Amino acid sequence: MKNEKIKNKAERESKKEKNTKEKTKNKIEIKANKKNEAKEKVNKTNKNLVTKETSFIELLEKKPNSFELLFQEGLHCLGCAMSAYETIEQGCLAHGMTKKQIENLINRINELN
């Protein structure tokens, strides 16, 4: 009888330990999945992110609707032969824009869908 109680107690403790390990494993997997989802979201966002180093050709590939905004800012670079080689920053500086104006323009472009 005493041996049976000890055996039952050991089995219960073993099951508890197993359940605890399983719960911990599940929590770790959930955290890993959340991290992966967050990374995928960031990568997807970064893929379409425009920077001052982005060329005008890349800009139109990433944000085709940005040409209207560029025209509003007096940047008619899309028709220029240099647009294939020039970055947004280079084009903006050539048109007399300040660093702050360029930064604001890039932020507005990135807000576009």
Quick one: average pLDDT of 88-101? Answer: 93
The mean per-residue pLDDT over the stretch 94-110 comes to 95
Contact 59, 66 (CB under 8 A): yes
CA dihedral over 52, 53, 56, 57, signed as positive or negative: negative
| 86 and 43 belong to one structural domain | no
Residues 34 and 66 in one domain: no
Both 71 and 30 in one domain: the answer is no
Tokens for 19? 């359940």
Same domain, 40 and 1: yes
Number of separate domains in the chain: 2
pLDDT tens digits for range 49-74: 999 999 988 998 899 899 899 889 88
- Mean pLDDT computed over 25-52: 71
More confident residue, 16 or 104: 104
pLDDT band at 38 (very low <50, low <70, confident <90, very high): low
The verdict on 80 and 106 lying in the same domain is: yes
- Domain region containing 62: 56-111
Same domain? 65 vs 93:
yes
> Does residue 33 share a domain with residue 16?
yes
Contact 51, 103 (CB under 8 A): no
